[in-house]
Structure 1
């Protein structure tokens, strides 16, 4: 058996952390990487997989990034600037307060169809054309549309067609299959444990996914020797463990 030790301090890191108005960013981002030759940065895995997705679509400059990783200070300036220009009520629909923005995790991106003048807060990323083609395949690379329509009561953010979040594979597939936003997905997974995991089969791989509550400073779980796995904190009270193997 493989013995995996889970530490309370690691609840606040991982591809599946939930950041919103209730759960702030707790840890600094490491391993940032620039997007192409631009000044935009994201976590290394996010930048790499987004490039792969763009290459698959054969994109040149039809789609551009309008925002990626932001520091606390940059998010604060954006929020306060929007409050002055657009009012606080409108701003709260589209801009998170500093410390509560997914952009501070290095896991989020804003995309736009290329225009001469870009709207930095609400970029133009429609549901047809090349934007639709991106949506159709982005889940293959672990990305989801983070703030879809009809999920505002969970996210507390208005629909943002341009905002995508990296959650990793196969979570991007499962969330689409079950029609869950990230807040709902976290609650959904809490019904599954090491002994009764959520089972998902795709591309000749069998995935077992489960939640581990963090009650003490350290929790130990035992996994099969041949198992490959990833662990992500949920940024609140525990971990999401993803185990996979080839389907027999």
Structure 2
């Protein structure tokens, strides 16, 4: 087995970081980490590259909101409180430092129409929007806030909000029918999760981060592997 050392700060890095009311964004992206999608909307560079593959020659779908600084999220939250009230804002707008948009891995998509609602853009479960939605998991994206998961995610159902988690996790989350919160919890409870993907065996192991010093992960020699922090307290190690 090959030993991989990870420091504590890396818990907040990677495509599987969990961001919600209980787990704030602690790592701020610099401009060099960003790419552009759609009409100049910023996203984390790897996520942007995957989304651009789907957006090529696409005129019916538009990118409404991607990466936001903490200051921008604070302004959106404050404006919504004033314009829409507390109940609406708590349902649809995350508090500053608790929005996935601040980690650059989230994108709000909308149907291309004359009037687009910035907070709740229309993205129906039919026609070209649904066809686009169906393709997203093959490129590493999940619909983040599904109907029926409100008590788990803390956010109302949002058909327009998508989150990059990377392959093969997007397909696993889709097939299991779980939220990102439930997926991370499931991995933490299992020693090793094994899944068949495109005829290959995928192994996923959760490794708890050490409080002091480096955390050592073990992966098979000569294997293709990836490691992401979960922003909770550990690392998700995936290998073929």
TM-score (normalizing by structure 1):
0.93
Residue of structure 2 equivalent to 1:198: 193
Equivalent in 201, 225, 237 of residue 229 of structure 1: 225
Moved more, 5-14 or 218-227: 218-227
1:96 and 2:97 matched: no
1:14 and 2:14 matched: yes
Shift in Å, 1:236: 1.4
State whether residues 192 and 209 of structure 1, in contact with CA within 8 Å, keep that contact through their aligned partners in structure 2: no
Residue of structure 1 equivalent to 2:47: 46
Shift in Å, 1:29: 1.3
Equivalent in 47, 50, 69 of residue 67 of structure 2: 69
Equivalent in 188, 194, 206 of residue 211 of structure 1: 206
RMSD after superposition: 1.1
State whether residues 42 and 69 of structure 1, in contact with CA within 8 Å, keep that contact through their aligned partners in structure 2: yes
Provide, for residues 54-100 of structure 1, a one-character-per-residue CA deviation record: whole Å limited to 9, x for no partner. Answer: 34xxx431000010000001100000000000001110000001100
SS across alignment from 2:27: coil
Shift in Å, 1:214: 1.1
Shift in Å, 1:135: 1.6
Provide, for residues 167-188 of structure 1, a one-character-per-residue CA deviation record: whole Å limited to 9, x for no partner. Answer: 0111111111111001101101
Residue of structure 2 equivalent to 1:24: 24
Q: How many residues align?
A: 237
Provide, for residues 10-65 of structure 1, a one-character-per-residue CA deviation record: whole Å limited to 9, x for no partner. Answer: 001100000001100001114101225x331001111110011234xxx4310000
Q: In structure 1, what is the Cα distance between the partners aligned to 2:229 and 2:238?
A: 11
Equivalent in 148, 158, 162 of residue 146 of structure 2: 148
Residue of structure 2 equivalent to 1:2: 2
**Unmatched tracts of structure 1, length 5 or more:** none
SS across alignment from 2:189: coil
**Unmatched tracts of structure 2, length 5 or more:** none
Equivalent in 238, 243, 246 of residue 239 of structure 2: 243
1:134 and 2:129 matched: no
Moved more, 217-226 or 80-89: 217-226
Q: In structure 2, what is the Cα distance between the partners aligned to 1:7 and 1:125?
A: 40
Shift in Å, 1:6: 1.7
Residue of structure 2 equivalent to 1:173: 171
TM-score (normalizing by structure 2):
0.96
